[in-house]
Amino acid sequence: MSDAKLHLHLHDPTSSLSAEGRALNAVDPAEATLREVEGGVRVDVRLPDSSVSEQRWCVDQVCRKVTGALDLGPVAISFEPGVAQDTALTLAMDRHLASGGALEVIGSPEVAEELESLAPAVNRYASWVDEDPTIRTSIAIAEDVAEWCASRSDVTCEVLDTEQLEALGMNLMLAVGGASTISPPRLVMAHYKPDDPRPPLMLIGKGITFDTGGINVKPYESFVSMMKNDMGGAALAWALFAGLVDAGVDRPLLVVLPTCENPIGEGAMRPGSVVKSYSGQTVRIDHTDAEGRLILADALAYATERYEPERVICFATLTTAALIAYGPYATPVHFAPEALQTALEEASKSLGEDLHFFPRRLWHREANRDHEADLKNTGRLPKHAVRGAGSRNAAHFLAFFTDAPFVHLDIFASTWNWAGDAPGAGSGATGAPLRTLLRALRG
């Protein structure tokens, strides 16, 4: 057990604790004590000598127990000198989210200032993911991005509608969203151009506003009731872009949001169809629930060709395999070069968001080849390994559609509170891994 300790200051008019306090039956290995103080209750939590990720989880478990036992009013948090500033920031961010933004930070003005700077981006991300999918449509995404860009002189916005996508030959996007009237295909792009001649860093995010699974309709057991979160990649890319612009980064940025819903209807794409992509490569639709990689493929090819980005970083709730393979809190990161991997590793370790890194491999690339078309949208390894490596195969599929240096984060497991106990999260969005990305890319 470490000597680092934090204090939660809680207003509870119903408390009848003894003045000397009592131990809380906290989650091992955390230690927590409840004390009656003037105006309410204080919870003293001694942090375990472990990773920040585990400290976050332990503190959150303590808070859940307290919330279940006391009638809480306003919440404040303070930290003893033994708590590192980054640890304090991420623990405060969790409590900020859990309290709906009502948290007060006592005695740590640097933490309070950084929390105030970080919170709007995390709130923007989480609110999009949590919103009703009949409201957070492709149309709403395009309108919100355009409105935000119009308020700035250094950001331009362009939205391509269905007719423009048809003229460009973006047939994969049109195939996915072809049966939707409420959330039809849109390609939303915003370009931040400070006084810097470098090509932009491109951020691209999957924006499936609701995923029925298409004709291969999802069963209830495949999380269909939670599939409003399938635009989490677009929400993350947009929140990251806006957060970096608000922070005044000095490098050009481009955000690309292919968005629509994956509906069931007469115009829905059919399994077995062969579709010619914007890049000219053909793709056989083997399963209509592998739709995210299709809209990303067309958007990647188009935006790479048009803007010639320095690097592309892609975000998508791409595969259930990420949740199955890596658990509910981790984010697999594919193809990160050494310098970016180091920056992400350092930020994630400091801020308590777990990342796992994977390189390119020939067998994962070749798993996407097809006998009828150039590629199929369900990459599979051969024989006994056929059910494995879904996240890695899908990442390699995307790499066929851009010549730029390419990094992909499969956020299916980490963006949603699948296990129900993600630190600071309610029943939906977690806000992960935005705080890590902002730290790593802000430089």
Residues 274-296: tens digit of each pLDDT:
999 999 999 999 999 999 999 99
Domain that holds residue 87: 5-107
The enclosing domain of 384 has a CATH number of 3.40.630.10
pLDDT at 401 over 60: yes
206 catalytic? Reply is no
Q: Which helix (H) or strand (E) holds 326?
A: helix 320-326
Using alpha carbons, list the distances in angstroms from residue 357 to 89, 344, 350, 353.
25, 10, 17, 13
DSSP element (H, E) containing 188: strand 186-192
Work out the angle between the directed axes of helices 138-150 and 232-246 (0-180°, nearest 10).
0
> Which member of 46, 284, 293, 435 is catalytic?
293
Please tell me whether residues 162 and 31 are part of one structural domain: no
User: Of 56, 73, 107, which residue constitutes the final position of a domain?
Assistant: 107
Per-residue pLDDT, 34: 80
Q: pLDDT, tens digit, for every residue of 58-79?
A: 899 888 887 665 555 678 899 9
Share of the chain above pLDDT 70, in %: 92
* 362 and 430 belong to one structural domain: yes
Contact 300, 394 (CB under 8 A): no
Domain boundary among 72, 107, 142: 107
Whether the CB-CB separation of 45 and 32 falls below 8 Å is answered with: yes
The predicted structure's pLDDT at residue 212 = 96
* 136 and 285 housed in the same domain: yes
Last residue of a domain, one of 107, 142, 176: 107
User: Active site residue: 95, 124, 136, 218, which one?
Assistant: 218
Cβ partners under 8 Å of residue 77, min gap 6 = 6, 7, 8, 9, 91, 92, 95, 103, 104, 105, 106
- For 340, the token pair is 């970016």
Cα(426)–Cα(382) distance, integer angstroms:
40
Q: What pLDDT shows up at residue 35?
A: 79
Give the global pTM. Answer: 0.95
State mean pLDDT over 304-329: 96
Average pLDDT, the chain: 92
From first CA to last CA, the distance across the chain in angstroms is: 33
Instruction: Clarify whether residues 146 and 192 are in a common domain.
Output: yes
Q: For this structure, is 218 an active site residue?
A: yes
- How many domains in the chain? 2
Q: Do 135 and 87 sit in the same domain of this protein?
A: no
